[in-house]
Amino acid sequence: MPDPLPKVTLVLGGARSGKSAHAEALVESRPGPCVYLATAEAGDGEMAERIAAHRARRGTRWRTLEEPLELAATLAARPAGEGAVLVDCLTLWLSNLMAAERDPAAETARLLEALPGVAAPVVFVSNEVGLGIVPMNPLARRFRDEAGRLNQAVAAAADRVVFVAAGLPLVLKPGAGPATNR
């Protein structure tokens, strides 16, 4: 039976859109173990609660790895047969890069260069932050712009791109295998 996931999938959506749950269902559509590559860091109690809720939703098939910055190297180091990888999320990774004063364009290029060598299918989750008003401060505008560039670059490299709104997936770029509605 062919793998239900293409090599690279990008799942976009707004806050609380259902994008993470959809991405988890895509990874779980494959037999075998699932790897959750978390980019979030629990900097406060509210974020710790969000992380705990995400962990509680996943079952025992999931192995969690935490990597806030070295996404390309961590993906490249995944051995074959370990299972599909869910990266949640690219926008938190971008926040981490910006806080560490690293160049988002260079890090995005490193990520894209690593993708062909990743042994398992990868599903990326990212927030679509450019649909609202223009932010009032320069840092927020820079983040919005960098997130837009990151999403465009990953979407161009992805085999499948899905936008999720109100829990409903809309396939923007079809790829190999079926898209699931969870």
In degrees, rounded to 5, the angle at the alpha carbon of residue 111 between the alpha carbons of residues 18 and 96 is 65
Q: Domain span at residue 123?
A: 8-173
pLDDT in the model for residue 161:
98
pTM: 0.90
Q: How many domains are contained in the chain? A: 1
| In a domain? residue 181 | no
Q: Which CATH number does the domain housing residue 58 bear?
A: 3.40.50.300
- The verdict on whether 22 is a catalytic residue reads no
Catalytic residue among 19, 22, 54, 78: 54
Per-residue pLDDT of the chain (182 residues; tens, 9 = 90+): 345 789 999 999 998 999 999 999 999 998 888 999 999 887 788 877 877 777 777 778 899 999 999 999 999 998 877 889 999 999 999 999 999 999 999 999 999 999 999 989 999 999 999 888 888 999 999 999 999 999 999 999 999 999 999 999 999 999 755 444 43
